[in-house]
């Protein structure tokens, strides 16, 4: 595996959106990993992804001044469920397979702990996205259950969505 | 069981909020069935509950001109997951046990089908809420999985949240 020794993981700023949007658009366009409409409008993507606050935040991984991956963390439920974080990751297709996703994931797990979350839950891991499923399992996530046919995969048709979870 | 023979189930209008809010406030105040903050502000509750559109809607059950229960339906995911509905129900505590919840549920299942949804998913059924779990199982829902400790139950402490699902 090629490595990215200078990778810096940090909170995103509003100025990062112009570099995040091409990654977001490329990732959702394939219709095989995210529920977002593959033709989502930029404004809707920005509203969904650019979070700011003490309980929700957007992150980027930067390699030599280039944003190569991004992640978000937010409460998975309000009120009496807000100790469980929800999170999502996107890696630039040109960077996939170089360990960037894992390193940003480890950064975000630490950040979520620092934000006071005691667990993390994913609601919609596409069951055919074996790279993601394997990454999360290697990072300590369990598959809590699989909702059958809940995702209209562009190539595979209706496939299941895993709910995955780990304590932090 | 007492029955409510004249119960009418229909879409809610903005004017119904004044009758829905006391039900909402009473249901969430006990901290044993919903993740919403038990002391949620009315404006936040209204924003969360009063939905309007072709893909999201609020319903009420009316007994002799009195709103006795309410429900919402919306897509559980955007885009490629929006064929699966999410829904939630609240019954006035004074009316609980009279079959109102079940009748509103049957109405809303039909309405969700008419809205084009092909399945329904709940993300956060409190595992100690045996009345709700039993109702949904009797209406054809399966427990897909249980997220451990994801709900801070006011009396029981950390308890699990069931994900439940059925085809429509």
Each residue of B115-155: pLDDT tens digit? 999 999 999 999 999 999 999 999 999 999 999 999 999 99
Distance CA A72, CA A87 (A): 5
Q: Does A80 sit within 8 Å of B31, measured CB to CB?
A: yes
What's the pLDDT score for residue A98? 84
Distance CA A117, CA A167 (A): 9
The interface pTM score, or ipTM, of the predicted complex is 0.92
Instruction: Please compute Rg for chain A using Cα positions.
Output: 15
Q: What confidence tens digit (pLDDT) does each residue in A78-133 have?
A: 999 999 999 999 999 988 778 999 999 999 999 999 999 999 999 999 999 999 99
Distance CA A100, CA B51 (A): 40
Residue of A147, A151, A162, A163 to mutate for B, most B C-beta atoms under 10 A: A147
What's the pLDDT score for residue B54? 87
Q: Does B80 sit within 8 Å of A147, measured CB to CB?
A: no
What's the pLDDT score for residue B3? 63
Residue B23: partners with Cβ closer than 8 Å, 6 or more residues away: B67, B68, B69, B70, B90, B91, B92
Q: Which residue of B has its CA nearest to A35?
A: B80
Q: Does B149 sit within 8 Å of A147, measured CB to CB?
A: no
pTM, two decimal places: 0.94
Q: Which of B78, B124, B153 sits opposite A37 (nearest CB)?
A: B78
Q: What confidence tens digit (pLDDT) does each residue in B81-121 have?
A: 999 999 999 999 988 778 999 999 999 999 999 999 999 99
Q: Does B123 sit within 8 Å of A38, measured CB to CB?
A: no
What's the pLDDT score for residue A95? 87
Question: Which phi-psi region, left, alpha or beta, contains residue A83 (left: φ > 0; alpha: ψ -120 to 50)?
Answer: alpha
> Residue B1, CB half-sphere, CA atoms under 13 Å: how many?
11
What's the pLDDT score for residue B58? 98
What's the pLDDT score for residue A3? 63
Q: Which residue of B has its CA nearest to A30?
A: B80
pLDDT, mean over chain B: 95
Q: What confidence tens digit (pLDDT) does each residue in A27-64 have?
A: 999 999 999 999 999 999 999 999 988 899 999 999 99
Q: Does A163 sit within 8 Å of B148, measured CB to CB?
A: no
Q: Does B153 sit within 8 Å of A147, measured CB to CB?
A: no
Q: What is the length of chain A?
A: 168
Binned at pLDDT 50, 70 and 90, residue A6 comes out as: confident
Q: Which of A79, A121, A161 sits opposite B150 (nearest CB)?
A: A121
**H or E element at residue A113:** helix A100-114
Q: Which residue of A has its CA nearest to B152?
A: A80
């Amino acid at each position: 595996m090629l490595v990215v020794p200078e990778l810096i993981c940090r909170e995103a700023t509003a100025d990062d959106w112009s570099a995040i949007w091409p990654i977001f658009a490329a990732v959702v366009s394939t219709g095989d990993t995210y529920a977002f409409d593959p033709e989502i409008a930029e404004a809707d993507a920005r509203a969904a992804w650019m979070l700011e606050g003490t309980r929700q935040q957007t992150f980027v991984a930067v390699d030599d001044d280039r944003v190569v991956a991004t992640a978000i963390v937010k409460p998975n439920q309000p009120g009496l469920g807000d100790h469980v974080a929800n999170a999502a990751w996107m890696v630039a297709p040109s960077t996939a397979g170089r360990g960037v996703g894992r390193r940003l994931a480890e950064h975000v797990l630490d950040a979520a702990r620092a934000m006071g979350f005691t667990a993390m839950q994913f609601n919609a891991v596409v069951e055919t996205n074996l790279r993601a499923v394997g990454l999360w399992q290697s990072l300590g996530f369990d598959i809590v259950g699989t909702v059958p046919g809940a995702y209209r995969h562009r190539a595979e048709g209706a496939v299941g969505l895993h709910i995955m979870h780990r304590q932090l």
